[in-house]
Amino acid sequence: MHGGLAHSQEAPERSSSALSSNLVRRLPYYALGLLAFYVIHTISLIGKSEGWLLDGAGRYWLNDFSGVWTAGDVTNRGFPEWAYDIAKLCREQIALRGAPSEGCYPWPYPPHVLPLAAALANLPLIAAMLVWLGLTASCFSAVARLITGSWHGVVLMLAGPATLNILYTGQNGFLSAALVGAGLMLLPNRPVLAGVAFGMLAYKPHLGLLIPLALLAAGQWRTLVAASLTVASVVVASMATQGLEIWHLFVLQLGNVASVMQSHFDPSKLRSIFGMLQTIGLSAGPALAIHTVLAVVVAGLVMLAWRSRMAGDLKAAVLAAAIPMASPYVFAYDLAILCIAQAFFVRHALARGRLATREFGGLAVVNILQPASGGLAGLLLIGLILRCAGDYRSSARPGSPLHHPEPPALPGNDASSIRQP
């Protein structure tokens, strides 16, 4: 197969249901065109109403990154506690724009992330956002390269639906996805480093809810300990250098942000099942109840998968697909994690010998659904992964010791499986 995504010559012969070689060769170029469209479209919004970076008068347009930059700026000026005062941070953002604004962007992250925001705020707002996007996209690309074994695979992952929203908002979706992907790739051979990667995801703790459950189910104790120590270390270091009061303000801020989201937030911006149900008219209480039931079911499926002898890449894919489904507060940029899930799924399929047409079609539907409902997209992807695991198990030789042997690694990467210790 083209671009280094091919598996070894010993792989099974392709069936008639496999994708044509011509389509496989062309996919990276289609993805490159889509990625170019994202960039050109985003740049074209500069100077327009509800645009990007600058309005027609040359003033800053506020976006999600504005909250990061202003929190870093007040920290540099010696007032880190202002980052957790929504009224003061709004005044800072209005002053930054130089004109009234319809909304402002709070700082909902733990205090140990403030030094990163402060470092970025040493640059002008636009330069800081471009540097941030460049750095996090580079991290995401490096992890994508490790998973896929090909720069063509990197292009395919960068062309995911979440990228357009990340470019527009300056959000952290690339970083979250990179940490999840790095943890899953490191887990088989570097369990301690995997724990460090998972622990660093604590800057958005709602995205890490299912990771401890999967690690517990698989008995990955070293990774669990490493993740716990990573979180404890950054919290203790932050308390030692920033004081306890700022952590108290952070806890109060979480309550304030939750109150704002319940009373004034547009649920159509959420990509969870919770947000989707509210968008179609269900009230918040029943929507949250349905979301919670589905999240519990998905958590159970993750634990069952990680306790099983399912192929390692499929375990990784199930967990990554399930992560955005646990919390009701998931946004479009968070769905970059679904690209990690799809990459592990395709990695397994290619190592098995083929990516079937129905599997490719399923992935296409997942990506079409993402902009409307990441929750539905995640459910479909989990179903696709479990169906693949069932097909692989039924085709395994009865005499094989595990009945569903691990697939061979893709070229250039041997950390392809997550096994029971």
How confident is the model at residue 397, as a pLDDT?
A: 41
Cα 250 from Cα 185, distance rounded (Å): 32
Neighbours of 46 (CB within 10 A): 14
Cα 304 from Cα 217, distance rounded (Å): 7
**Which tokens hold the place of 203?**
């800057």
Long-range contacts of 94-99 (CB under 8 A, 24+ apart): 96/60, 96/62, 96/66, 96/69, 96/70, 96/125, 97/59, 97/60, 97/61, 97/62, 98/59, 98/60, 99/57, 99/59
pTM of the complete model: 0.87
Per-residue pLDDT of the chain (421 residues; tens, 9 = 90+): 333 333 333 333 344 455 667 777 888 899 999 999 999 999 999 988 778 999 888 889 899 999 999 999 999 999 999 999 988 999 999 999 988 877 789 999 999 999 999 999 999 999 999 999 999 999 999 999 999 998 999 999 999 999 999 999 999 999 999 999 999 999 999 999 999 999 999 999 999 999 999 999 999 999 999 999 999 999 999 999 999 999 999 998 888 777 776 666 778 888 899 989 988 988 888 999 999 999 999 999 999 999 998 999 999 999 999 999 999 989 999 999 999 999 999 999 888 777 888 888 999 999 999 888 888 899 999 999 998 877 655 544 433 322 333 433 333 333 333 443 3
Contacts (Cβ under 8 Å, ≥6 apart) of 309: 402, 403, 404, 420
Tell me if 344 sits within 8 A of 415, measured CB to CB.
Answer: no
Cα 276 from Cα 268, distance rounded (Å): 7
How confident is the model at residue 266, as a pLDDT?
A: 79
**Which tokens hold the place of 227?**
């993740």
How confident is the model at residue 19, as a pLDDT?
A: 65
How confident is the model at residue 171, as a pLDDT?
A: 96
How confident is the model at residue 23, as a pLDDT?
A: 76
Residue for token pair 């995205």: 207
**Which tokens hold the place of 396?**
């395994």
- Collapsing DSSP to helix, strand or coil, 47 comes out as coil
Tell me if 31 sits within 8 A of 159, measured CB to CB.
Answer: yes
